[in-house]
Chains A and B, each alone.
Chain A
Amino acid sequence: MNSAREALFERRLLIVAGKGGVGKTTIACALGLLASRLGKRTLIAEVDGAGRAAHLLGATPGPIGEPQQVRPLLSEMSVDGTAALAEYLQIIVPVKVVLQAVFSSRVYQYFVAAAPGLKELMTIGKIWYEAERLDEATGKPRWDLVILDAPATGHSLQYLGMPQAAHEVFRAGLVGRESQRLIDLLTDPQRTAINLVTTAEEMPVNETLEMHQRIRDELRMPLGVLFVNRTHVAEFEVQDIEPLAAALAGLRGGERAIAEEALNRAREEAAWAAINASYCQRLSSAVRMPLVQLPFLFAEEFGSEQVRQIAAATESALATARRRAHKHGRS
């Protein structure tokens, strides 16, 4: 294995998974930017995310299920299980009139809304389709890389586990065969890597450790990189700032208010830096994945500029991640 970066971008499918609110979409977009800059034709697929990826890439969301180009070599698409099922049925049931009747029937609508696992299966199916899709003109794969921005943890595991479940239930039939192809893709370390995103706080870390273990032992899917997002790295320590409290006593009025506020913000930053550091430590000793630590960004608003900054930080951290992996003999 060369660098962690190449190992990542030589895959065909990168899945970005993790607890809600830790920044999966941001990481998926940052990876998309890096891959497209390396010359890879890249598709970012977002699962029921309301067009957040498009927004972070400075574009307006396009129609569901249709890739739209947002930059040279970089496209983005929203995936929805219900729409993917309709698309799939159009392929296996070519009679339009019958299909219309099916789609508009109450039975179908209710069944799709609540049927166990159906939407998840169709979503993964759609991702598989894009990952394997050939360009009509050239006969070559349409995408060099598909990046899946997966839903929040509990849901991610349901999505990833669905082909296996479907395969076991429907061994012989078409669904069984199709599921096997999905499983082949998801478990192939040459083509796929499951990347995890977390923040270095108690609950997200607990969930990440559990997810890591289940992906490794139950789903047996190849793990990629662990992204630890929004880490605070204070330039000062708690012991540097606490003695200052006494010094502030000499100030008055507005000056004192400013100094106190600055001291409180310093305390906050130092406290979170310490919390983040201890959870990073815990992650790196419990998880055998290259670890990429990304900074908390102090921005008034989070937009495409911040995604570019995260992409830059990811790029340099991936280089360090390789050294780490070598040092521990983990490459």
Chain B
Amino acid sequence: MAGLDEVLRRHRVVICAGSGGVGKTTTAAALAVYAALSGRRTMVLTIDPAKRLANALGVRAIGGIGSAVTVEDVPHGMLSAMMLDQKGAWDELVQRHAPSAEIRDRIQNNRFYQHLSQSFAGSQEYMAIEQLCELHASGAYDLIVVDTPPTRHALDFLEAPQRLADFLDRRVVKWFVRPYFSASWATMRFVNRTVGFLFRRLEEATGISALVEVSEFFTAMSGLFEGFEPRVRRVYKLLRAADTAFVLVATPEEQVLGEAEYFTRKVRELRMSLSAVVFNRSHREMAGSRRSVRAEDVLKVMKRAVGSASLATKLTDNFIRYEAIGRGDGLRIEAFRRVLPKDTVCVEVPNFNSDLHSVADLRAMHRFLMAA
């Protein structure tokens, strides 16, 4: 069976997915460094890295492409990094697609927009994918490694473009456009009892001034997303392309793996390809759990080696406690692997004794990531 190095070699886009807090950012960075070391022009699109990791990757400003990273053994220009701004994603979307400065200002000065843009479902995810499309189309890189935004559900990333497209669908948006002033709305109010009723209730609930504001917001937006559908289709085409691979990152905890299992099913349904799973921060029992190590045997050995009986006991207790975790992690990882297609690459990365921040740290991960 091929390993992760093969996955990197065969694809032009590698997307690291997984629920929040499992180590996606670090894994994406480590994969990018590996690809660059093997001579491919690599870009890592990263989101909210720890400060020291951002420094290590040479990313200083949000949005801008980081200066090519100078890394030992990596030829200059082989590795670049770019950091996405999570918070201003929607502003960026408006900036980028507003047909005129006037419309842009109208949207950005709208109170409804100002209050709610932060939580507009999927805007960060959509921006990440849009950025990916642009970098991909530029042809400047052999490989783009993508770190996905920290969502509770790994799947949010894949569904965001479609949700956003649905929401901005002109046929839907038009219901909300200028309901009080447009002739078509007046007609609709009689023709469509359901919508008419909904709006009369909304009107009572919110007061007219607010609805005008909402309506103006949608009027401005509807101009903004002219041709949004084709862009979303292009996004999904890239996500489904033969040279795009998903790498799922998970920690061997029950909750995380439950989420991961759902993700693997959905990826298949969406006709995308999951190439590899990284079990991060995993422990294993000693000797692969063929036979559990007995506490008294360990204590005997430790007493001989250590001298101090009390220290020997503490070290033994600690060892036995870690064995319990290793046993649990092992069982959960094996159970998870059984539901994966046979050709999915699975690797385990242990829990390192520190946060991983330097390029040297990332290189220390390679031994585990690239294990056959």
Interface residues, chain A, with chain B CB atoms under 8 Å away: 19-22, 48, 50, 52, 92-93, 98, 101-102, 105-108, 110-111, 113-117, 120, 151-152, 154-155, 158, 161-162, 165-166, 168-176, 201-204, 206, 234-236, 240-241, 244, 247-248, 250-251, 255, 257-259, 261-263, 265-269, 271-272, 275, 298-302
Contacts and interface: CB of A to CB of B under 8 A. Distances in A.
Contacts of A248: 305
A258 B294 CA distance: 10
Nearest to A248: B305
Contact of B324 (A107, A113, A234, A300): A300
A130 to B, nearest CB: 22
10 contacts: A21-B22, A21-B251, A22-B21, A107-B175, A110-B169, A201-B355, A262-B301, A262-B316, A265-B319, A299-B325
A201 B195 CA distance: 51
A20 to B, nearest CB: 3
Interface string B297-333: 1100110111100010011111101101101100100
Nearest to B350: A268
Contacts of B176: 111
A173 B169 CA distance: 28
A154 B315 contact: no
Contacts of A105: 194-195
B166 A110 contact: yes
B253 interface: yes
B206 interface: yes
Contacts of A152: 20, 150, 152
Contacts of B304: 251, 255
B119 interface: yes
A282 to B, nearest CB: 13
B100 interface: no
B229 interface: no
Nearest to B159: A113
Q: Which 8 A-B pairs have the closest CB atoms?
A: A20-B20, A114-B167, A21-B21, A116-B116, A173-B207, A298-B321, A271-B353, A300-B328
B166 A261 contact: no
Contact of A114 (B19, B121, B253, B311): B121
Contacts of B256: 21
Given A105-B195, A116-B116, A169-B213, 6 more contacts: A21-B251, A21-B253, A105-B194, A162-B119, A176-B206, A251-B304
B121 A259 contact: no
A116 B318 contact: no
Interface in B185-218: 193-195, 197-198, 201, 204-207, 209-210, 213
B286 interface: yes
A302 B254 contact: yes
A241 B315 contact: yes
A257 B305 CA distance: 12
Contacts of A275: 354-355
A117 B115 CA distance: 9
B152 A173 contact: no
Contacts, number: 194
Nearest to B262: A50
Contact of B116 (A21, A117, A244, A263): A117
Contacts of B321: 298
A259 B302 contact: yes
A151 B195 contact: no
A204 B21 contact: yes
Contact of A170 (B169, B207, B331): B207
Nearest to A120: B119
B166 A172 contact: no
A257 to B, nearest CB: 8
Contacts of B287: 257
B236 interface: no
Residue in B115, B121, B305 whose Cβ sees the most chain A Cβ within 10 Å:
B305
A151 B152 contact: yes
B19 A261 contact: no
A105 B194 CA distance: 8
Contact of A236 (B19, B164, B314): B314
A76 B20 CA distance: 24
B198 A102 contact: yes
Contact of B119 (A20, A158, A268): A158
A70 B207 CA distance: 42
Contacts of A261: 286, 319
A205 B210 CA distance: 39
A271 B172 CA distance: 55
B172 A155 contact: no
Nearest to B163: A114
Given A176-B207, A259-B301, A266 B328 contact: no
Given A261-B286, A275-B355, A236 B152 contact: no
A265 B318 contact: yes
A268 B255 contact: no
A261 B353 CA distance: 14
Contact of A154 (B117, B150, B204): B150
B255 A202 contact: no
Contact of A298 (B286, B301, B325): B325
